[in-house]
Structure 1
Amino acid sequence: MPIGEFCNREVVFATRETSIPEAAQLMRKFHVGDLVVVDEIDGKRVPVGIVTDRDIVIEIVSQSLDLNEFSVGDIMSPQLISVQEKEGVFETIRLMRAKGIRRIPVVNQEGGLEGIVSADDILDLLAEEMTELAKVVPREQEREAKTKI
C-alpha cells in the first residue's frame, strides 16, 4: 500500500522565518508535536526541515534563551528525510528505522509537501490490518469444518 494513501494530509507547517512563539502557538492550536518547515518554491511547499516541541525545549527553553530571538530556521533539523507518496508502507518503516525518526514528511514527485506520517500512524494501520487478518482465521476454519462433514 502506498504511504500516500493513508498519510495525514493536513500538515501543520511553518517557514524558516516563523518565530519560536508562533511555532509553539501553532503546535498548541493544532495539537501537534511537530511542524514541517517549508520553502515556497514556484507555488509549492517544499519541505526543508522539521521542528518538534522537543527541539524547542532542548535548544531554547532548557538554556533559558529568549524565545523571541530565534526562528524555526535556527533550530530545525536540517537533514530532512522525506518519503515519496508512492513508496510502500514497509519501505517507509525501513527508512524510519534506519534513520531513527518517528515522523516523516510525504512528498510528491516534484518534491512538494503532500502529507506527514508518524510511527503511531503506521502502528495504527498495522494493528487494524492485523485485526482484519485475525478475523479470517476463524471463518476459514469454520468453512473447512463444514466441508469435512
Structure 2
Amino acid sequence: MKTAVEIMTEDVITVTPETGVKEVAKILSENKISGVPVVDEQELVGIVSDSDLIRQGKKLELPNYIYLLDSILYLESFKKFEEEFKKMVGAKVKDVMEREVHTVTSDATVEDIATMLADNEIKRAPVVDQEGNLIGIVSRGDIIDYLSE
C-alpha cells in the first residue's frame, strides 16, 4: 500500500494567519480548491476551508436568554455564540481558521489517511514532518486518483 509521501501534493498553496479573508476566497476560487493550510514560517498553525468562509455569509442567531432579577441568564452557551460571531466578522485568516488540524506523517498509509478523512468528515490532511512543518497535503482527490490506478 502506498504512503502519504507517494500520493501527496508537494507544491502546497498556503496562507499566513495575517492573510485577508477576501484574498483567501480569491485563492480558493482561482485554484479550484476547497481549503488551504495556514503556516507561520513553515510551521502548520491551522487550516482554512470554504466552509469557514461561508460562515461569514450566514445569518447570525442570538442565543436564547431570560431576564431575571436585573440579570441576563443565557439558556445556551454564550461562549459558543462568541466564537461563531468572531468567525462571522473576521477579516483575517487567524479569525476564521480551524486551529485543531488533523495531520498525517509521510509514512501514513493511504488506508489510514482515507479512514481519518472519512471518520472526521474532512476533505484534506496536511502532511507534516517531525517538527510539525508542512511538507505536503493529501486530499480526497489524491486518494481517488490512487484508487483509480
Task: Provide TM-score, normalisation by structure 1.
Answer: 0.73
How does 1:32-71 map onto structure 2 within 5 Å?
Answer: 32-40=33-41, 45-58=42-55, 60-63=56-59, 70-71=91-92
How many pairs align? 122
1: CA distance, partners of 2:90 / 2:101: 24
**1:139 maps to what in 2?**
none
Structure of higher RCO (CA pairs closer than 8 Å, 6+ residues apart): 2
User: Aligned-residue CA RMSD in angstroms?
Assistant: 2.1
Q: What is the deviation of 1:126?
A: 0.9
Instruction: Determine the structure 2 residue equivalent to 1:10.
Output: 11
Amino acid of the residue matched to residue 62 of structure 1? K
**1:76 maps onto 2:97 in alignment:** yes
Task: Say if 1:68 and 1:101 are closer, same or farther in 2 by CA, change over 3 A.
Answer: closer
The structure with the largest alpha-carbon Rg is 1
Partner of 1:109: 130
Distance in 1, matches of 2:89 and 2:23, equals 9
Q: Which moved further from structure 2: 96-105 or 4-13?
A: 96-105
| Cα deviation code 1:56-97 (max 9, x no counterpart) | 112x123499x9851111111111110001111111122222
Letter of the 2:97 counterpart: M
Q: 1:63 to 1:12 in 2, by over 3 A?
A: farther
TM score, norm. by length of structure 2 = 0.73
The ranges of structure 1 where at least 4 consecutive aligned residues each deviate by more than 4 angstroms after the TM superposition are none
Q: Aligned partners of 1:111 and 1:13: how far apart in 2?
A: 15
Q: Which residue of 2 aligns with 1:145?
A: none
Identical positions, percent: 33
Q: CA deviation at 1:29?
A: 3.0
Higher helix share: 1
Measure, in 2, the Cα distance between the counterparts of 1:68 and 1:74: 8
AA aligned to 1:101 is I
Give me the whole-angstrom Cα distance separating, in 2, the residues matched to 1:122 and 1:104.
11
Other-structure match for 1:23: 24
Q: Return the alpha-carbon distance in structure 1 between the equivalents of residues 20 and 101 of structure 2.
A: 20
> Equivalents in 2 of 1:19, 1:68: separation in Å?
12
